[in-house]
């Protein structure tokens, strides 16, 4: 974990773009599939969590694979 923190400090500004991008993708995708506003919001929140969770898992997996390189 000690190698991950300097990487996040250097590219920390770029990492914050993930959240609005995931929110926009989930809202547009959900709005194109459903018509009821409460269903759009509920499904987009679920998709947002799925996208960010998957990206966090990929980050951890890549960090573990490159641990002692």
Quote the CA–CA distance of 21 and 24 in Å, as a whole number: 5
The answer to whether 67 and 3 are in contact (CB under 8 A) is yes
Matching residue, tokens 């773009």: 17
pTM beyond 0.95: no
For residue 13, the model assigns a pLDDT of: 72
With respect to residue 36, please indicate whether it lies within any of the assigned structural domains. Answer: yes
Considering the domain boundaries, does residue 4 fall inside one? no
Let me know the angle formed at the C-alpha of 38 by 37 and 44, rounded to the nearest 5 degrees: 90
Given a cut of 70, the residues of the chain with pLDDT beneath it are: 1-12
Residue 1, in any domain of the structure: no
Total structural domains in the chain? 1
**Nearest CA among 15, 41, 19 for reference residue 30:** 41
Residue 8 lies in a domain: no
Owning domain of residue 44? 15-65
DSSP state letter for 36: S
């Amino acid at each position: 974990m000690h190698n991950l923190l300097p990487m996040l400090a250097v590219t920390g500004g770029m990492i914050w773009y993930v959240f609005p991008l995931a929110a926009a993708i989930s809202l547009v995708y959900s709005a194109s599939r459903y018509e009821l506003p409460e269903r759009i919001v509920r499904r987009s929140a679920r998709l947002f969590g799925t996208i960010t969770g998957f990206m966090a898992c990929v980050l951890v997996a890549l960090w573990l694979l490159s641990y002692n390189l």
